Structure 1
Amino acid sequence: MMSKKRLTGVLAAVLITSAMLAGCSSDNSDTNANTEASGAGEEQKPTYTFRLAESHPADYPTTLGDKKFAELVSQKTDGRIKIEVFPSAQLGEEKAVIEQVQLGAIEFTRVSTGPLAEFNQAFGVFSLPYIFDNEEHEWNFLNGPEAQKMLEDLSDSKFMGLAYYDSGARSFYTRKPVTSMDDLKGMKIRVIQNKVNIDLMSALGASATPMPYGDVFNALQTGVIDGAENNWPSYFTSKHYEQAKHIIVDGHQRVPEVLMVSQVTWDKLSDADKQAIKEAAVESIPYQREQWKKFEKDAEDQVRAAGVTVTEVGDLAPWQEAVKPMIEKYRADYKDVLAAIENAKTK
């Protein structure tokens, strides 16, 4: 017969083993996930706290779009999924963040299609100049099947694209007056470090000078470069307009933003949670675009009030003609996408 002391020890071991097995059976493989029971006999649903990396300041339109997205996700999941937005590059600069999202170390991010092209070549198409006639043309394409397929195809690079956000159009600003394409000839223009931008400068007769964004103000101030290019908000918030007092509004590039999630994170979610997140992303777009328009207009108004010379390009045809050879150079890489962009033009 088993002694009382030994029987007590066996019962304790059984209880410990049962507790361990119960813990292993719960759906809690993600360190950011927990489970909650909504009622007796009801299926347990996981709760999550995710991070969203944002490089822009807290009041920037893309950050406001991120926050709207997070708010909608919380509403659609009754608070089970919480997404915390980290603005001002708190979690790292864009390229480093993309790498972390790829690994699943950071769950969500908003990123420009410029650096994203280094991880998924298809997004390099947005760096090509003058492929969109205007904002309406751009969004006709972004809302169409080819652009939506590009978001889905990010899975090949271990991401899931959720939505496009607005970032306006980029134009040239310079230290000396520029009123036509010919005035750019020979000028040293700062560009993002990629081959398309370097080819663009060559096509327009300017000299490409790649450098980090943070170095541009001093380079303009000291005359190391003659000009740069960006959208209205960046031109204003960077204070580049203080050194480059002439802007020619040619809108040579429309480089949208992408809201995306790590494929590692996405694969852990239920179909219902995936649907809620995707719906929230799409529903946040109108709000983000509205915030962009307000911010863009305010930036332009303040730049004009500061005495900057603004030249509007009325006829883009000569600019588009000048870059045709470089477009053809890259056409084979983006054949289907360029065809879809052409078809998205307003008839």
Structure 2
Amino acid sequence: MSIGYSLNPVHCLQAAAVVGMLAAMTMPAQADNWRGWNVHPQGYPNSEALDSFVKEVTDKTDGRVKAKIFHNGVLGDQPDAIEQTRSGALNFANFNMGPMGPIVPETNVLSLPFLFKDIDAMHKVMDGEIGQRFADALERKNLIALSWFDSGARSVYNTKRAINEPEDMQGLKVRVMNNDLYVEMIDALGGNATPMAYGEVYQSLKTGVLDGAENNFPSFESSGHDEIAKYFSETEHLILPECLCIAKRSWDKLSDQDQRIVRQAALDAATLQRQLWQESSKQSREDVIAAGVEINEVDKPAFQAKMEPIYAAFVKKHPDLEPLLNDIRNAQ
């Protein structure tokens, strides 16, 4: 006769549970793989700052968040990227506040021409309590704004002639970002505003579909627009902040510790971006002059005077935003 024994099923289950718990404790947590969007090419100030952000987040979370940034708009244009980030399909992105207006109405205030007296004034406003108000508005649309980037002062350039007075804009077909305020601005100056995706501007300038566009010096040069549009007039009509934004869905999944790491990485990226931007703007200005671009100052008060009806119409249409507008003016 053989002697045998049987295992208690309850004991087996308990042992399996203990083994499972020990395995879970010793296995590394699964990394959260983040995808980010950026419209600018590699080497651009924003791109370098975002690369720095990605590295800091990945390193300081010990790989709990593994971030990767896709440059040069390869994942779509900005309106698409805004929606993808809001939905969580993208985890983070660097957005200009111009095309944000249709999604976050408060940001339309930032698109009013000649709102900021200079770039330093914009930084002061956005880094303070007013900037937090904009961040709160973005959060209501599922975007967490962690820091504010620079995008310089935008001016008009074209293929036809130097622009000194508003009258010189008459009849020019000028590309603008997708925002009604920019259309109204160019129309008020006598030009024909044409909203268009940024990637289409070069060919449109080359073929004559457009006569001009408006942007800052680094973008003017890096996009190759300086090869075609040889007249750059320093209207400096827009000084627009940009945000480093995180999808709210991604933000909410982070622990408190990792939220602090990501926020600090975003602030560090903004500091780097502003420094690089200043250096890049100076260098790009010198480079386009060397490439044969004619740069001229304009009668800025004459341009500002043309904007008064736009301000009046804006306040009439958005009376709830008038206090915010006045606070920005007073903060300068």
CA distance in 1, matches of 2:90, 2:198: 24
Which residue of 129, 142, 146 maps to 1:158? 142
Cα distance 1:229–1:47, how it changes in 2: closer, same or farther (>3 A)?
same
Q: Report the AA paired with residue 225 of structure 1.
A: L
Gaps of at least 5 residues in structure 1 are 29-33, 36-45
Residue aligning to 2:223: 238
Superposed CA deviations along residues 247-299 of structure 1, whole A, max 9, x for unmatched, are 11111111221101111111122222222222221232221111111222222
Q: Structure 1 residue 6: deviation in Å?
A: 5.7
Which of 241, 246, 255 matches 1:270?
255
Identify the match of residue 285 of structure 2 among 300, 309, 332.
Answer: 300
Which residue among 240, 249, 255 is the counterpart of 2:234?
Answer: 249
* Equivalence for 2:331: 344
The answer to whether structure 1 residue 171 and structure 2 residue 155 are counterparts is yes
Measured in 2, the distance between the counterparts of 1:124 and 1:13 equals: 61
- Give yes or no for the alignment of 1:92 onto 2:76: yes
SS in structure 1 of the partner of residue 296 of structure 2:
strand
**Which AA in structure 1 matches 2:245?**
M
Q: What secondary structure does 1:98 align onto? A: helix
Number of aligned residue pairs: 325
Q: Which residue identity is paired with 1:340?
A: D
**Where does residue 166 of structure 2 map in the other structure?**
181
The CA deviation string for residues 286-333 of structure 1, in whole angstroms up to 9 with x for no partner, is 2111111122222211110111111113x5222111111111211225
The SS at the match of 1:157 is coil
Where do 1:130-145 residues align within 5 Å? Answer: 130-145=114-129
- The answer to whether 1:288 aligns with 2:269 is no
Q: Secondary structure at the match of 1:267?
A: helix
Partner SS, residue 51 of structure 1: strand
TM-fit CA distance, 1:16: 4.2
For the residues of structure 2 that align with 1:204 and 1:273, how far apart are their CA atoms? 48
What is the identity, as a one-letter code, of the residue corresponding to 1:228?
A
Q: Is the contact made by 2:159 and 2:228 (CA closer than 8 Å) also made in structure 1?
A: yes
| Cα distance between partner residues in 2 of 1:196 and 1:173 | 19
Q: 1:273 to 1:338 in 2, by over 3 A?
A: same
Amino acid at match of 1:7: L
Q: Which residue of 2 aligns with 1:123?
A: 107
Following superposition, the deviation at residue 22 of structure 1 comes to: 7.5
SS of the residue corresponding to residue 280 of structure 1 reads: helix
**Partner in structure 2 of residue 53 of structure 1:** 37
Report the alpha carbon displacement of residue 67 of structure 1 after superposing the two structures with TM.
2.0
Pair 1:69 & 2:56 matched: no
Partner AA of 1:255 in structure 2? L
Equivalent of 1:317, from 298, 301, 306? 301
In structure 1, the residue matched to 2:7 is: 7
1:23-61 deviations in Å (ceiling 9; x for gaps):
8x88x9xxxxx53xxxxxxxxxx8644332222222111
Measured in 2, the distance between the counterparts of 1:4 and 1:95 equals 72
* TM-score when normalising by structure 2: 0.88
What letter is aligned with 2:68? E
Tell me which residue corresponds to 2:89: 105
Change (3 A) 1:114 1:10: same
| Corresponding residue of 1:327 | 311
- Partner Cα separation in structure 1 for residue 232 and residue 265 of structure 2: 37
State the Cα deviation string for residues 83-107 of structure 1 (Å, max 9, x = none).
3222223443322222222222322
- Contact kept in structure 2, 1:151 and 1:163, CA below 8 Å: no
Of 238-247 and 257-266, deviating more is: 238-247
Task: Kindly indicate whether the alpha-carbon contact (under 8 Å) linking 1:114 and 1:127 is maintained by their aligned counterparts in 2.
Answer: yes
Instruction: After superposition, give the CA deviation of every residue in 1:199-252 in whole Å (9 maximum; x if it has no partner).
Output: 111211111122232332232223222221111122112222222211111111
Considering only aligned residues, what root-mean-square deviation do their CA atoms show, in Å? 2.6
Closer, same or farther: CA 205–262 of 1 in aligned 2, 3 Å: same
Does structure 1 retain, via aligned residues, the 8 Å contact 2:158–2:211? yes
| Deviation per residue, 1:159-216 (Å, 9 max, x gap) | 2110010111111111222222211122221222321111111211111122232332
Contact 1:188–1:206 at 8 Å: present in 2 too? yes
Tell me the residue number matched to 1:40.
none
Change (3 A) 1:218 1:279: closer
Q: Aligned partners of 1:310, 1:138: CA distance in 2, in Å?
A: 24
Distance of aligned partners of 1:75 and 1:211 in 2 relative to their CA distance in 1, 3 Å threshold: closer
